[in-house]
Amino acid sequence: MASSSSSSLPRNYMHDVFPSFHGADVRRSFLSHVLKEFERKGISTFLDNNIRRRRSKLIDRIRAIRRSRISIVILSRNYASSSWCLDELVEIMKCNYELGQRVVPVFYKLQPSDVSKQDGYFWEAFVKACMGREDDAIRRRRWIKALGEVALIAGYSTMDWDNEMAMIENIATDISQSKDFDGLVGMGAHMEKLKPMLCLDSHEVRMIGILGPRGIGKTTIARFLFNQLSDRFQLRGFMENIKGRSPRHCYCEHDAQLQLQRDFLSEILDQKDIKIHHLGVLQERLNDKKVLVVLDDVDRLKQLEALAKESSWFGPGSRIIITTQYEKLLSAHGIKHIYKVAFSQPDEASLIFCTYAFGQKSPYDGFGYLASKVTALCGGIPLELKVMGSYLRGKSKHQWKKRTREFANGFLDHIITNEDRKEDLNTSERAFKDTIYIYCADTLQYSFASHLSMDFRRKGIHAFVNCNETLNVIERISASVVIVSKSCFSSTSCLNKLAKVLQCRKKTGQLVVPVFYGISISDVVVVQEQIREFSSVLEELRRLPGHQSREECSECELVEEIVKDVYGKLFPARHIGINSRLLKIEQLICKQPWGIRHIGIWGMAGIGKTTLAKAVFDLISGGYEASCFIEHFDEAFHEKGLPCLMEEHFGSILYKLPRVCSSITRPSLPRDKLSKKRTLVVLDDVHNPLVAKSFLGGIHWFGPGSLIIITSRDKQVFRHCLINHIYEVQSLNEDEALQLISQCAFRRDRREQKNFEVPIEVLDYANGNPLALSLYGRKLKGKTQSKLEAAFLTPNKIHDLFKCSYETLNKNEKSIFLDIACFFKGENVDYVIQLLEGCGFFPHVGINVLVEKSLVTISENRVNMHRIIQDFGREINNSETVQMGGRRRLWEPCTIKFLLEDYKPEGIEDIEGIFLDASKLCFDVKPTVFENMLNLRFLKIYCSSYENQHELRLPKGLESLPYELRLLHWEYYPLPSLPQDFDPCHLVELNLPYSQLQKLWGGTKNLKMLKMVRLCHSQQLTEIDDICSAQNIELIDLQGCIKLPSFSATGQLQHLRVVNLENCSSLVELSFCHCSSLVELPSSFGNATNLKKLNLAGCLSLIELPASIGNATNLEILDLTNCSRFVELPSSFGNASLKELYLTGCSSLVELPASIEYAVNLEILNLSNCSSLLQLPSSIRNATTFQKLNLTYPSSLVDLPSPSGNAINLKELCLTGCSSDVELPASIRKST
C-alpha cells in the first residue's frame, strides 16, 4: 500500500456506506428500499439529497467516498451513461485498492457478465457517455478499467433472487455484520487486553500472535486493530487469507516464498507488477520504515519465514500481527506475545446471533427461548452464530425447533454449504388470524410487492403474494391489497383475482385496499371502456379509498403509507389515542432518578393496558441490553414455571458455559447475571403479585438504568411489587371513540363517513372502553343506518375478562360488588357505606379493594361502575340464581310484578334485594307477599319518572315486613301506617315519600340502626315522636308534611346533622335540644309560619340561622342556650310576636342585628356569658316591654343603650361580672 499521511486515512468513518447509483433508474424505486433497510439496521449512509450533480461537487463526493467504510455500487442499465457515476466508480475502486475499502456491487436487472463482456445495452449506454470525449482517452480508459474490476467482485444480482426484498435484507445484514460486529461487539475488551502486548510507545519491533480456532473472530479483531492503528505508521498492509495465497503443490519452496513476498510488497507499497529476484528485497525495502503488518490466517512456518523472518527486516516501532489457529507455529517462530481469543461471552453471543437472525439486538416475542438455545449450541463461536442466525432468519417457530434439533446432531456443516432460504406458505401459517393477501401482476411480485409483504411481516401481519386460493379461504383473511398496474389490464388471470376479491368484500365486508402503481385513476377510466367484461370490477375498485404512486413519493414511502393505513384499519385500537398516553408514560419514566425505574399501568379490562405496554416496549426496547415482554404473565408462569420462563427470556445471559443449555436451579444465578445488565421487563396482566415478585427477584436483580413495567387491573399488585409510579389508563374520549368504532365498522376515518351516526346506546354503553368499541364496531359492519339501532346487544365476550378479578374477591367483597352492580351504581359513597355497614359487611375496606381491582370507581363522592362491569355483575347474580334455584337480587319489573301479585317461586327465602321501578305499573299487592322473604335486606319501590306514578294497591293491607330490612324505600306507600309487628331493629334508612302515612307504627320500636328518615310530602302525617328515640339518626326530611303539628328532638339525637322542615306549615313547636351535630337549619325553615316555639338549646355545631327565619312571624320563643359556635342572628330576625330570646352561653356572638328593634314585645332577653358581645344595638331601646334582662359576665360589653321612655316593666336586671366602667342609662337607673 502506498504511503499516506494520517489525514488521508482518518481513524473514524463519517459514513458506513457510500451508495453510487444512477438516479433515474433506481432512486425512487430500488434505492429507496435499500436506504430504508439500512436505516432499520442502523447503517449510516451518505445521501446527496437529490442534488443536481455538478463537477464542482465531485470533490465533496470524493471526500465522502474516502470517509465511508463501504461503497455499494448499484449497476443499472443506464449507470454507464453517466460520467458522474463513472467518475465515482473510479474513485471507489481507487479506495478499494489503496485503502482496502470494501466494495459491494449490486447488479440491478443485470448480470455481472453484462458489465464485463463490453457489449449489449449496458455498453451501448457507455458509448453514449464517451461521445464527444475523444480527447479524453485517459479518463475513458479509467472508466473501462473500473467497470471491469467491479464486475469481478462478488456481489448481488436481482436476476438471481426471486424476492427483491430478501436480497436487500441480505445486503443490509451483510453490511451490518461488517459494521457492527467486525468493529463493535466485544472489541473494547479485546483492545484492552491487546494494549500491553502492542506497547505502542516502544521503539522495538514487536510481533504479536492472535490465536484461536476457526470462526472465533481472529480476522475481525485484526481488522479492527488495523483500522484503529494504521494512521500511526508510515506504511501498512493487511495480507488476508495467507493460507489461501500460498501454493500447496509447488515443486519449489523458494518460488512459493518469493511469490508471497511479491504479493506482500505490492500490498504495502501500492505498486503493481513488482519484480523481485531474491528473498532479501523485502528487508531492503522496509528495514527503515515504521510499518504495521497483519498476516492473516497463517498455517505454515514457511509463510512466516517468507514474510517476517526477523524483526530486523522492519524499521523501529513496527508491529507485525499474525493470526493463526496453531500455537506451535507461533512458538516455533519465537513469538512471545500471544493473545488467545476466548469464546464469546453469552451476552455477546446473543447479540451476534440476534442481529443475524432477527435483524435487531434482541429476539422477537416468543423466540427468546429458542434463540438462547441456539446461541448456547453455537458455543460462542461468532462464525457459527452468524451462519446459524442467517439460516434461521425469517423462518417459522416450527422450523426453528426442527432445525435446532438437527443442528444439535451436526446439521451446521450442511447449512454452511447448502443454505435454504425459501419460505413455504403452509397450512399452519394460513391459519393465522392476521393475514393479508397481496394481488399484483407477475412483473411486480418480486419487486414492489415483496417490499410490501416484508413491511407487513415486520408489523406482525402474515402477508402472501398472489396466492391461488379458493373463495372460502380468501373470505377468512383479514384484508386484501390489490396492486393495479398496466400489466394487470392485459392479464385475464389478474383481473379474475380482482373480481374474486371484490366478491369477498361484498359477502364478508373484508377490507380491500387498492394501490394504483405507475398509473392514475383516470387511466383506469380509459381501460374500463376497453375491457367491457371487467368494467364493473374496475369501477368498484376505482371508488374504494386507496393509494397511488406519485412523482414526489419514493416506493419506500409509498410502502410505509400503505402499511400504516392497513394496519391502522385492521387494529384501530392499537394507535387511536396512543400517542398522548405514551407521552404521559414517558413523563413518569423521566421523573424517576437513574437506577432501576418502574411503572405500573393500571385500568379495567379492555381499557388498553396491554396495547399501551406493547407500544412502550416497541418504542424503547432497542435501547436496552436485554428485554422481554411476557403477555398473560400469570398464565405463562403457572404453565411453564419460573426456571423455564427465565431460561426462555434471559437464557442467553444466564448460560454459564458455551454449549451448555442447563436449567436454572440456583436462585442467585439470575441476580448474578442480570445485576450488570440494563434490562427492560414488561409483565402483562399480573394478578398475583407474589408470582411477579419471584420473577423480578424483588426488582434488585437488574442493573442500573433498567425499567420494569407491570400491567394489572389490581392496584395492590403494584404496592406488593414496590411500584409507586402508576399510570391509570383513561377511557377514550368521545372523538377517539367515534374514530375507533368507525375504523372497526367501516375501515375508514370517521370524517369520511358523512352519513354515519353511531347509536347513542353504543357510545354510552362502551363509555370509551376500546375493546367494547371494537366489538361493537365489528357488529355494526355492513349495517345500514336504519339497522344500526337494532344491532345494539350487550357483548358477552368481554364479560369473560372480568371473571378472574371477581374470583379473587372474598365473600364479603363479592357481596358488596354484587350489591353495587345490581342496586347502588351512581349512589353517594357514604350512603352506600351506611347501608352495607348495616348488613354487617366491611364496606370501607371492601369498596377500596373493588376500586383497586378496577371494578368500581369513586368520582365526585359517588360509587360508579362501567356499564359493562355492571352487566357482568348482574350476570353473575343471575348465574348464582340458576345454581341456587332462586334469585337473590331482583330489579326487573316484570319478574317482581309476578312475585308481588301472587307468584310463589322456589327459593323466595333467598331473596336479598328488590328494586322495583314501578313507573306505569298498576296492580294489587297481596298482604303476605313478604312473609317468607326472611333474608330481604333492601326493598325499594320507586318511580323513575314522576310523570308516570304507579298504582301499587294494598286493598287487604300489609301483614308483615322482613326483620332483616336495612333499606325500606316505598314511594306512594298507600297505607296509614306500617305493619304493627314490623321490627325495624336493622333498619338503616326509612324512605317513604308521598305516602299516606298518618303515623309510622304503634308503640316504641328499636331504632338503634336508623340513620336516615325521609317522609317528605306525606301530607297526612301527624305523629312521628318515635323517631326521637333513634339515637344514631343523622338526617330527617319532613318537607311538605303539612299536618305535622310538632317535632321534638331530644338530647339523644347527637348525630343529627340535617333537618328539612320546608312547608311544614302546621308546625307549632319544634325542638332540637342538645342535637350537638346539627350544623344548620334548611333555608326554607321560615315557611313554618305557625311556629311559636323553637328550641335549639345545646346545638353546639350550629353557626347561624337561615335568613328565612324572618318569615316565622308567629315565633314567640327562641332558645339558643349554649350554642357556643353561634355567630350572629340574621338581619331579617325580629318580629312583633317575639317575647323570649335566650342567648345564654353564645360565646361566639359578637352583636345583635339592628332588626331587633321590631321585637317591640320582647319581654325576656338573656345574654349571660356572651363573652364576645361588644355592645347592644341602639334600636333595642324600642323594646319597652322588657321584664328580664340578663347581662351576666359579658366581658366585652362597655355600653348599654338608653331605652326610650322609662323601663317601667323591668322586673329583673342581672349585671353580675360586668365591668365597673359600664354605665347604666338614666332611664334604667330611674326604673330600678
Backbone angles phi and psi of 1193, in degrees to 5: 50, 50
What's the CATH code, domain 427-567?
3.40.50.10140
Domain ranges of the chain: 6-161, 187-340, 346-417, 427-567, 574-728, 799-884
Read off the pLDDT of residues 652-702 as tens digits, 9 standing for 90 and up.
555 433 333 333 333 444 455 556 678 899 999 999 888 888 888 745 667
CB neighbours (10 Å) of residue 425?
Answer: 11
Rounded average pLDDT over 146-160: 87
Determine whether 944 is exposed, middle or buried from the number of CB atoms within 10 Å of its CB (0-12, 13-18, 19+).
exposed
Lowest mean pLDDT among 361-370, 397-406, 797-806, 928-937: 397-406
Closest CA to 654 of 360, 356, 372, 368: 372
Read off the pLDDT of residues 889-942 as tens digits, 9 standing for 90 and up.
999 888 888 888 876 667 788 899 999 998 888 889 999 999 889 999 999 999
**C-alpha distances in Å from residue 1127, one per residue of 268, 1152, 1191:** 105, 10, 17
Rounded average pLDDT over 774-797: 61
* Contact (CB, 8 A) for 912 and 857: no
* Contact (CB, 8 A) for 42 and 177: no
Strand, helix or coil for residue 458: helix
**C-alpha distances in Å from residue 437, one per residue of 479, 543, 779, 1061:** 7, 20, 24, 75
Strand, helix or coil for residue 161: coil
Read off the pLDDT of residues 365-374 as tens digits, 9 standing for 90 and up.
778 888 887 8
Read off the pLDDT of residues 742-768 as tens digits, 9 standing for 90 and up.
777 766 555 555 555 666 777 778 888
Out of 37, 39, 88, 1080, which one is annotated catalytic?
88
* Contact (CB, 8 A) for 424 and 162: no
* pLDDT score for 963: 92
Q: Is the pTM of this model over 0.85?
A: no
Grade residue 342 by pLDDT with cuts at 50, 70 and 90: confident
**Counting every residue, how long is the chain?**
1232
Read off the pLDDT of residues 710-743 as tens digits, 9 standing for 90 and up.
999 999 999 988 899 999 999 888 888 887 777 7
What's the CATH code, domain 574-728?
3.40.50.300
DSSP notation for 521-561: HHHHHHHHHH-GGGHHHHHHHHHS--EE--TTS-HHHHHHH
* pLDDT score for 665: 38
CA distance 693 to 708: 11
Q: Let me know the angle formed at the C-alpha of 1087 by 1084 and 1089, rounded to the nearest 5 degrees.
A: 155
* Architecture of domain 6-161 in this structure: 3-Layer(aba) Sandwich (3.40)
Grade residue 1027 by pLDDT with cuts at 50, 70 and 90: confident
Domain 187-340 and domain 574-728, same fold? Reply is: yes
Lowest mean pLDDT among 227-236, 453-462, 819-828, 1222-1231: 1222-1231
What's the CATH code, domain 799-884?
1.10.10
- 3-class SS letters over 965-1005: CCEEEECCCCCCCCCCCCCCCCCCEEECCCCCCCECCCCCC
Q: Could you tell me what percent of the chain has a pLDDT over 70?
A: 81
Strand, helix or coil for residue 1020: coil
What's the CATH code, domain 187-340?
3.40.50.300
CA distance 770 to 1: 66
Catalytic-residue membership of 852: no
CA distance 200 to 977: 109
